[in-house]
Chain A
Amino acid sequence: NAGVMQNPRHLVRRRGQEARLRCSPMKGHSHVYWYRQLPEEGLKFMVYLQKENIIDESGMPKERFSAEFPKEGPSILRIQQVVRGDSAAYFCASSLTVTTNTGELFFGEGSRLTVL
């Protein structure tokens, strides 16, 4: 059973370009979470999604950032018009449905975004 898969592992963008980060949750998981980790800091919650729904986006910047988790395919974190401050590691995690939720999140290996 494959774990949470994130790609690309490393992404380099110039200021003003768009970054798209993809996350395929573990098989059977319908909850996806995105976190951002700046160098030497902890993980900051960004957004929590279920299939086709955004449940909590309280940690998401109001502009330039968006996330989706379509019925088919991976979850996508999209950053438009990137700036240097967006350089970070972006982690995706998934969990089982709420009714059988053991409370554990399974993390991907992260996508490291570098903005030049």
Chain B
Amino acid sequence: AQTVTQSQPEMSVQEAETVTLSCTYDTSENNYYLFWYKQPPSRQMILVIRQEAYKQQNATENRFSVNFQKAAKSFSLKISDSQLGDTAMYFCAFMLNDMRFGAGTRLTVKP
């Protein structure tokens, strides 16, 4: 079974600075998808960024980018120029046939 580990229960960052959230996973498969989802207080699950395992290039979406290390099974999320609206729970997820989530990291952006 695939497992996803987020080792940082909580993190904080000053507005406009950069923060990196960690995620590791365990799988014996070669082709899969990795995701970061954001869950603000509204509890809506919002897709932040997606990475296909067969792509070596790291995905980027505006201020959000990932560092995908396939051999190390690591998938960290970097948020640049943090904004107050980035305050939320962030979940790393692994998808093969269904999606499995990490326990989440609560990110607080401080003014």
Binding site for B on A (CB under 8 A): 33, 35, 41-45, 48, 55-56, 58, 89, 91, 93, 102-105, 107, 109-110
Contact = CB atoms under 8 A, between A and B. Distances in A.
Main SS at interface, chain A: strand
A46 to B, nearest CB: 10
Given A109-B43, A110-B43, A42 B91 contact: yes
Interface residues of B, number: 22
Contact of A104 (B50, B98, B102): B50
16 contacts: A42-B91, A43-B91, A43-B101, A45-B99, A45-B101, A48-B97, A56-B97, A56-B98, A58-B1, A103-B52, A103-B95, A104-B33, A104-B47, A105-B99, A109-B43, A110-B44
A35 B44 CA distance: 13
B78 interface: no
A33 B43 contact: no
A45 B1 CA distance: 12
B16 interface: no
Contacts of A48: 97-98
Contact of B45 (A44, A56, A91): A91
B47 to A, nearest CB: 6
Contacts, number: 50
A45 B52 CA distance: 21
A45 B100 CA distance: 6
Nearest to B6: A42
A43 B95 CA distance: 13
A63 B104 CA distance: 28
Contact of A103 (B44, B50, B91): B50
Contacts of A42: 91, 101-104
A45 B43 CA distance: 17
Contacts of B68: none
Contacts of A109: 42-44
